[in-house]
Structure 1
Amino acid sequence: MRKDVYERMRYFVLEKIKPNYSAIARQYGVDPRTVKAAYLRAQSGKTAVIRKRRSRRSKLDGYQDIIEDKYTAGCSARSIYDFIVEKGFTGKYTIVKDYCRRFRKVQTKKATIRVEHTIGLSAQVDWKEQVTMADRNGVPHTFSIFLYVLPYSKFKFLKLTLDQKQDTLFKCLFEAFKATGGIPKEIWFDNMSTVVDHKLSDFHHYRFNERFLSFSHDAGFHPIACRPFRPQTKGCVEALARTMGRLRPYDREFSTINDLNSIVNRLAKRLNHEKSQSNNQKPVELWAANCQTK
């Protein structure tokens, strides 16, 4: 039994959430029966049984993480091969090239998985960074937009900010909780420096910033950091970021930053009253119905 699947089911048991076996199986790339078995084992309080497999030694042993990190950063297989040869790699270039090809295929396959969402379970957070628009006098204003979306209802909250500092993030989250009527059980974040401690993290394991982690515990939500090559985990907020292009017609059509803030608020209201392409329902109506069922 995979430990990550078991830990996920253990979280569902602790939070008393009934999982969607098929959706989670697609997310983790396993059989739904595996997910169900992990859930039942977590319910019974038993620990996960991790089967040990015999592993044949490969010349790539000890170099996989380096290859994946460098390939993710956009390096070619040839340049990665030259790099690890300097570090003592004794294999041939074809081994590295084949590994990069398999790694790319796995990430591409993961990127096509659709994640199903549960009422009240999660939210997604990101920034639309460094947007520049000019006022009526041609003076440029650079700002960012805090993006918060509830994936199940597609209800959105937007906030214009002049920076992306950690205190600003905390303030925006509190306003989002107030605007949406509650705090979700888990919130998915992009790889932002105010959330993830990059010095203590690598491609496979994220370490959250201690101050942010303390904030999340006090607020009562479980933070999850999105990994590269996994856009399906935060597809809703990425789609929301793309809609910020609808601010462009207001370039040179405002006088002050307060006017611009009002434009952002009006856009949020319009988005919440437009039917979502995914479910053909208005986010504000579905969100209101969900609030009544709580």
Structure 2
Amino acid sequence: MINVGTLAKIRRMHLRDGLPIKEIERRTGLARNTIKVWLRKGEMVQPKYPQRVVVSKLDGFTEMLATWLKADQHRGKRDRRTIKALYEALTEQGYTGGYGRVAAFARRWREDQSGKVDKAAFVPLKFALGDAFQFDWSTEYAWVGGLRRRLEVAHTKLCGSRAFWLVAYPTQSHEMLFDAHARAFAAFGGVPQRGIYDNMKTAVDKVGAGKKRVINARFEAMTGHYLFEPEFCNVASGWEKGIVEKNVRDRRSSIWHKALKQRWPSMEALNDWLAQECRAAWAELNHPEWPTLKVADVLQDEQLRLMPNPKPFDGYVEVLARVSSTALVHLQRNRYSVPTEHVHEVVSLRLYPDRLDVVAENIRIASHARSFERSLTFYDWRHYVSLIERKPGALRNGAPFETLPEPLKKLQSILLRHEGGDRVMAQVLAAVPVHGLEPVLVAAELALESGKPSGEHVLNVLARLKAGGQTGDAQEVKTPLTLTVQPLANVQRYDRLRSVDGDDAPGAQP
């Protein structure tokens, strides 16, 4: 194709300098007929050519891709598919081209739809190693325990090495926030000097003018434990912590889309997998400022500049609750059992991400695995043993005793067939606080093996186990006295003693 500059050059050589067409052909390398065609035009005309048609492997999939992009417009930002996800979906449909074609088409399509290109400008940030980390939450969805659940994912990212850590939780409450920091600092191997946050409610009680903040007392206690200084962004200025904001978007496309395709038996299994994925990403991703180094390599240097990581902050949330007449405390529409000795008392509930501790007079009296479902009751049958001693009849239909260990269940079913069996079973259960659960289970199993178990049999076996006679061997008695002549077992001595007394002599009349 000939351009305007070449055409002007041809006209100057022929019309001004008087060069023949053959000489012009030699100098420009253009065909003689092409030169003649343009010289026949009496005036300078800008060349116009038909638009070039480029054949691409994406041509057969553009309509499908445009439909997907249009459908994503009606979804929330969190639910919109990334270009990488769209590329993978097209690949499953038979597309064999590259990722760049798909990305370019999607970018042009979105620009055409919006009518303008985003021209927001930002100042690039740079942090020294060990200086700061940024924290943020994102809302994601995954299949956990057979149900599709909404999860709150904590993102913690070092600003220097760009190492990041992800942990999923049911909520964004204080105990989850504190646990996320403890896990991240343990993974990083230390604590930076500063932490950068937005104005989340678990950290800021009140936003003042400018940078003034009323910081939450429990959050400030956590920062004092780890010795880092918290800093908060201006309101609605998420770009001030753009490193972690970008991390939320990147991890959604690089890690979380894999989590959506799997079924997780529990939250612990999901978090274990996230930990493996984070460490694997450190070894694969290049550092943005030092492209020849991986994130894991820079993290090793940053760990030398981090503050030592102390023991995890005891980040529980404490609430008060009154124990009901059935020895239950209510929390978030669930009920948990406590020892019956504390009925009608006000106790303290210490909430952790994975458990619930019940405290009375600074002593932990009960502990349960925490549940975020609703309308459930969690019993520990040992909490009701002291009450059963006074009310043994409740054993027959007592809800807490449905969770008895299998040996005790079998023993109970046998004992309750007889009159007074409930009282006997209560005596067996009363031995648990005295001797411990494991010895009682062993005694119950031994009694069941005999074929005719009874309460006296269990208690007798338990006493022998406690005394150390479970082996059946005679134990040696240690004494400071020693015998020079060991006594011999001689049954004939008994007959000789009888012969001395005439009344007991053989053949004597009564």
TM-score scaled by length of structure 1: 0.56
* Aligned with 1:254 (options 253, 263, 281): 263
Alignment partner for residue 134 of structure 1, among 121, 128, 143? Answer: 143
Which amino acid is the alignment partner of residue 267 of structure 1?
E
Of 171, 175, 182, the residue aligned with 2:179 is: 171
Superposed displacement of residue 125, structure 1: 0.7
Q: Which residue of 1 aligns with 2:231?
A: 224
The Cα shift of 1:292 comes to 4.3
Instruction: State the Cα distance separating 1:210 from its structure 2 match.
Output: 2.3
Whether the 8 Å contact between 1:128 and 1:145 is mirrored in structure 2 is: yes
Range 112-121 or range 223-232, more displaced? 223-232
Instruction: Summarize deviations over 1:192-250 as a string: whole Å, max 9, x none.
Output: 1101113x535653321122123212321110011145444311111111123231233
Of the three residues 284, 290, 294, the one matched with 1:279 is 290
Letter in structure 2 aligned against 1:243: D
2:443 maps to none
- 1:122 is matched with 132
The residue number in structure 2 matching 1:237 is 244
Report the alpha carbon displacement of residue 109 of structure 1 after superposing the two structures with TM.
Answer: 11
Identify unmatched segments of 5+ residues in structure 1: 1-107
Q: What is the CA deviation profile of residues 106-161 of structure 1, one whole-angstrom value per residue up to 9, with x for unaligned ones?
A: xx9996112210111111111112x1123695x21221111111111101122122
Pairing 1:192–2:203 present: no
User: For residues 92-111 of structure 1, what are the structure 2 equivalents within 5 Å?
Assistant: none
CA distance in 2, matches of 1:216, 1:241: 23
Matching residue of 2:161: 153
Given the superposition, is the C-alpha separation of residues 203 and 256 from structure 1 closer, same or farther in structure 2, using an over 3 Å criterion?
farther
Distance 1:233 1:153 in 2: 18
Partner of 1:289: 301
Whichever of the two has the greater Rg, that structure is 2
> Percent of pairs identical after alignment?
21
Give structure 2 stretches of 5+ with no counterpart.
1-117, 307-510
Structure 1: how far apart are the matches of 2:215 and 2:173?
15
Following superposition, the deviation at residue 288 of structure 1 comes to 0.6
CA distance in structure 2 between the partners assigned to 1:118 and 1:109 by the alignment: 29
Tell me which amino acid in the other structure corresponds to 2:246.
A
Contact 2:203 2:216 in 1 (8 A): yes
Asked whether the equivalents of residues 159 and 243 of structure 2 are also in contact (C-alpha less than 8 Å), the reply is yes
Distance in 1 separating the partners of 2:143 and 2:167:
19
Pick 1 or 2: higher relative contact order, CA cutoff 8 A, min separation 6.
Answer: 1
Cα gap change, 1:110/1:196 in structure 2, threshold over 3 Å: closer, same or farther?
Answer: farther
Change over 3 Å in CA distance of 1:165–1:135 after alignment to 2: closer
The two structures have a TM-score, normalised by structure 2, of: 0.33
Give the secondary-structure state (helix, strand or coil) at the position aligned to 1:144.
strand
User: Equivalent residue for 1:87?
Assistant: none
